[in-house]
Amino acid sequence: MNLNTLLAQITRGEDSTRQFKADVKNADSLASEMAAFASTGSMVLSGHVDPISDPLSMEPAA
């Protein structure tokens, strides 16, 4: 996948074929979800949330 294709996928946002993961707390759960998505040709995108460019992505402090 090239950069332009990846950016196009990200721009479309999440739906039933595309999920974004920024914080993986349960590896078994993620592995299960990735396997389910892979069998349908869907994708799970994992990355980092940048609170500077996306301040609404931050969870409130406890």
pLDDT tens series, the chain, 62 aa: 888 888 888 888 888 888 888 777 888 888 888 888 888 878 887 776 665 665 555 554 44
* 52 belongs to a structural domain: no
Return the pLDDT at 52: 61
Return the pLDDT at 7: 86
The count of domains in the chain is 1
d(CA 40, CA 19): 13
Structural tokens at position 56: 């609404």
* 39 belongs to a structural domain: yes
* 50 belongs to a structural domain: no
* 62 belongs to a structural domain: no
The range of the structural domain enclosing residue 39 comes to 3-45
Return the pLDDT at 61: 46
* 26 belongs to a structural domain: yes
Q: How many residues does the chain have?
A: 62
Return the pLDDT at 36: 84
Return the pLDDT at 39: 81
Structural tokens at position 21: 């993961």
* 58 belongs to a structural domain: no
How much is the pTM? 0.55
